[in-house]
Amino acid sequence: MNGPCQAARPQYDVAELLSFVLGPDRYARRAEYVEYYRQQLHARTGRFADRTAFAEGTRLATLEFGLHRLGLYLLPHTLSPYAFLPRVVDSFFAGLPRRL
């Protein structure tokens, strides 16, 4: 991103959502859900036709979510545990791309 007023990539939303809602029984379906999201975005906006580019954007958005948002959750979690956070962290790590 180039500057303070850039729009966030839509892949960030799905990376965050899936980290919060997917349980271990659904980890393997993450790519399927991301592809469905891409198809719906493309149908509604005419953008995001390129699966490879969308996948790369998702990879970057997932890393950004983990580095920034989860980091912010983990700081206060050390003082006053958030019951939901271990599940979210597990889901996040299960969704990390095999190559970074």
- Is residue 41, in this structure, part of any structural domain at all? yes
The pLDDT value recorded for residue 1 is: 45
* Amino acid, res. 59: R
* pLDDT tens sequence across 32-84: 999 999 999 999 999 999 999 999 999 999 999 999 999 999 999 889 999 99
The pLDDT value recorded for residue 98 is: 74
Domain residue limits at 51:
10-95
- Is residue 42, in this structure, part of any structural domain at all? yes
* pLDDT over 90 at 2, yes or no: no
- Is residue 3, in this structure, part of any structural domain at all? no
- Is residue 70, in this structure, part of any structural domain at all? yes
- Is residue 67, in this structure, part of any structural domain at all? yes
- Is residue 4, in this structure, part of any structural domain at all? no
- Is residue 63, in this structure, part of any structural domain at all? yes
Q: How confident is the model at residue 100 (pLDDT cuts 50, 70, 90)?
A: low
- Is residue 5, in this structure, part of any structural domain at all? no
How many domains does the chain fold into? 1
10-21 vs 85-95: helix crossing angle, rounded to 10: 120
